[in-house]
Amino acid sequence: MTRETRATRFVPERRRALRALVAAVLLPAAPAIGQPAALAPTPSQPEGPFYPKTVPADHDSDLTQIAGRAAQASGTPLYFAGRVLGRDARALVNARVELWQCDVHGRYHYVGDDAGPRDDNFQGYGVATTDRDGRFAFKTIRPVPYSGRTPHLHVRVRPPSGQPLTTQIYIAGDSADGDFVLAGTRAEVWERLTMVLTPAAGREPGALAGSFDFVIR
């Protein structure tokens, strides 16, 4: 075989190798086999006008019992728990989770809401911190509806670093008809912000339990 013949023979192979190298550089790398896809971040929702203007002295994770008071809040007890995760499914430790909601009469506390009756035994606002597994837990009451709103919980999650997430959590099975916040929200977003309530095993009679995992960008 002549030198010219050998050169002619290897030109196509060199071109194929060059094209493969260019493709490897330009195309995005495929996920490694067995590597999970990134989790979708939890949708945000408006904070609303009812975030406390002053934080109560007692703002622990039990909203049904105020320090120094013997009576507990009215309403159906709700054990609300879950995790705070990054998009890589990694647990976020020491994330601050804030929860606020109206009382059984539809009144928010610490915002100057003085119209109508109020449950003075309801804390209205609480804070929990995630553990090493990213878990948090609250005791509160099942949210109730009020004019223009379906039952919901307000939540703000502050990770150790990065931007906080403010959103609202809804109850599966409750109607969104007439809710002015959800009126402009896509159905799939609302569904992603709902949690299922079940009887709270081993708790007081009638208590409910719900779980929700927050995914931070």
Residue 62 forms beta bridges with which residues? 139
Q: Looking up tokens 């060199």, which residue turns up?
A: 14
Between CA 10 and CA 20, with CA 16 as vertex, the angle to 5 degrees is 145
What is the value of pTM for the model shown?
0.83
| CA distance linking residue 99 with residue 42, whole number of Å | 16
pLDDT tens sequence across 148-194: 999 999 999 999 998 999 999 999 999 999 999 999 899 999 999 99
pLDDT tens sequence across 70-128: 999 999 999 999 999 999 999 999 999 999 999 999 999 999 888 789 999 999 999 99
User: Which residue segments constitute the domains of the chain, with CATH numbers given?
Assistant: 77-216 (2.60.130.10)
195 pLDDT above the threshold of 60:
yes
Going by C-beta distance under 8 Å and a sequence separation of 6 or more, which residues neighbour residue 164? 156, 157, 158
197 pLDDT above the threshold of 50:
yes
pLDDT category at 6 given cuts 50, 70, 90 is very low
| CA distance linking residue 170 with residue 180, whole number of Å | 14
pLDDT tens sequence across 35-75: 567 999 999 999 999 999 999 999 999 999 999 999 999 99
